[in-house]
Structure 1
């Protein structure tokens, strides 16, 4: 099977949702006196202001949790691994610990992943034993604020400004 390819895809799938969450511009609950989005968030920023603030704030992030669920897998190449879901933690700049449910040869199996720098450890989907895989993908290439996923945000085009929303009663922009 293509473990290196699946691992690279898993790390990419962890970094992309993090970027998306940061792009939404949601603020933390303790930054609000009440739960009214229109009264506490102030003037609505432009899309470019949200991107700029997200890029600036990302430099202060030291760790984050990622939950991912894929709903439309599409067709896979024979012998490849498709990620159905993943749940894990990223410690900046280059450490990842995650669990994933993957479709491997038509069977849904659970794997574990630990990535430290350029070395990755995954559990073999057949034996469950840990395997060392090196050189697949250094997580810091995705989390680097200048060249990784967040760095790509400045290249986004045709963005629309945020709209009022709330998450679990906390006002934010989406």
Structure 2
């Protein structure tokens, strides 16, 4: 019995040392990564992305979009530079509604909250939510950035970066973003492929927003074949 027990103890000791060494290497790798370089490479990579999918959520608030609607959450696709499709859960006063928005070159469309039918609308993506441009602007606009961890997000190994960004640079979420407030940002950038996988922003971007508002944007399906066409006006969503 002694020999098996001794062997078991040796295996446990080796595994323990291995886990400890691995943990140490993980921390070392995170500390060695230069946050500014990670963000720079990430912005350059996102400039070249041909398409991506997104999921946007809020805690403690909403983002104003068109027709006075307050967006609670949204999911959709982007084909840079000027094609977007999203399905949003929104609020119109006390009412919870679902709304679809499509933007293609020269035209934008929205579903009527009452009828659910598509209508052409004179809006620009940059007026309310512009991930194609806003993501890279955010990555290039941060200060005091530091890599705090390596984490797996959406199946990708990522660098977790914590930084500050001026609220005026948050055109990703609001064209009328008011400058002057330092917002906390957490960004997860891929290690093998430096795409922006997720970003979280704490704080108010526009006037009247709650100070504890949290926006979370998760991106996926990078460079996949995504087609966004204009819907037929009058047709149901």
Residue by residue, what CA displacement relative to the aligned partner does 1:38-82 show, whole Å, maximum 9, x if unpaired?
57x967421101111112211220000001121211698xx8311
**Is the radius of gyration larger for structure 1 or structure 2?**
2
Tell me whether 1:52 sits opposite 2:40 in the alignment. yes
Question: Aligned with 1:62: secondary structure?
Answer: coil
CA RMSD, Structure 1 to Structure 2 (Å): 3.2
Query: CA separation in 2, counterparts of 1:168 and 1:155?
Result: 24
Number of residue equivalences: 133
1:162 is displaced (CA, Å) by 3.9
The secondary structure found in structure 2 opposite 1:158 is strand
Using the size of structure 2 for normalisation, the TM-score is 0.48
| Distance across 2 between alignment mates of 1:158 and 1:75 | 26
Q: Where does structure 1 differ by over 6 angstroms across 4 or more consecutive aligned residues?
A: none
The answer as to 2:129 corresponding to 1:143 is: no
- Aligned to 1:159, what secondary structure does the other structure show? strand
Matches of 2:85 and 2:152 in 1, distance apart?
29
Structure 1 residue runs without a partner (length 5+): 1-35
Corresponding residue SS for 1:134: coil
Residues 166 and 138 from structure 1, CA distance in 2 versus in 1: closer, same or farther, beyond 3 angstroms? closer
Please state if 1:173 is matched with 2:162.
no
CA contact (8 A) 2:63 2:70 kept: no
Determine which of 60, 71, 90 is the counterpart of 1:72.
60
The structure whose residues are more often strand, as a share, is 2
| 8 Å contact kept, 1:94–1:138 | no
- Residue 159 of structure 1 aligns with which residue? 145
Q: Which runs of 5+ in 2 are unaligned?
A: 1-21, 161-237
| Larger RCO, structure (CA 8 Å, separation 6 or more) | 1
Give 1:107's aligned residue.
Answer: 95
CA offsets per residue over residues 9-29 of structure 1, 9 Å max, x none?
A: xxxxxxxxxxxxxxxxxxxxx
CA contact under 8 A between 1:95 and 1:116: conserved in structure 2? yes
